[in-house]
Amino acid sequence: MTLADTRRGIAAVYDELSRQLGVVIDSAVVVTRLGPPLEQELANWLPPEEVPAAAELFRRMYPDVAVPMTTAMPGAREAVERVRAAGFDVIVVTGKNTRDARRTLEHLGLAVDDVVGSVFGAAKGSALASFGAAAYVGDHVADIAAARAGGAVSVTVATGPYTVGELREHGADVALSDLTEFAAWFDGFYSVARPSGGA
């Protein structure tokens, strides 16, 4: 929910998963807490021993069901273009698996320099550090931990499960309503930062 609005597509996959497995999964609830790994969410609906197979089935369905239903978040395209035009790299570090993350970005026509998938929270830190990330933009409090772990400025958007106030309370360096506010923040940031790695 930072660059891509995946809610409709993810809900559709969960609805189909529910139908195929014969298990009640409330997709409306699921999409209110996107961010953590797939297996963690599935554990709310299935016995532990059934989670791996369900996750595999979910991932098989995702490209055909969810990706075509995904749309860009307001301001996403402009944010990516602004960063790249300034000479910084744009690296996507996400909890989504790399394959589906790349397919989503291609579907949306968002040009990025690299993608690292299947990492969440502070575990994203090593990827961010390896790219020399100056800032990390996310919509979850776990993304604040990721930025801290990677030595990057924590920029958050309230387009996920948290409000601007909650993101600030959790220690975000910057809390924006959405990415349409990103350019104004970035212009100030760029005036003191230098393009020496990922952003």
The answer to whether residue 103 sits within a structural domain is yes
One domain, residues 55 and 97? no
What's the pLDDT score for residue 193?
Answer: 63
pLDDT exceeds 90 at position 195 = no
Report the alpha-carbon distance of residue 143 to residue 122 in Å, rounded: 8
Query: Which contiguous run of DSSP H or E holds residue 44?
Result: none
What's the pLDDT score for residue 39?
Answer: 97
One domain, residues 185 and 90? yes
- Number of domains comprising the chain: 2
What's the pLDDT score for residue 182?
Answer: 98
One domain, residues 65 and 131? no
Average pLDDT over residues 17-37: 97
pLDDT exceeds 80 at position 160 = yes
Strand partners, 5: 71
| Parent domain of 47 | 4-69
The answer to whether residue 199 sits within a structural domain is no
One domain, residues 57 and 80? no
Mean pLDDT of the chain: 95
Q: Which amino acid is at 95?
A: G
Strand partners, 4: 72
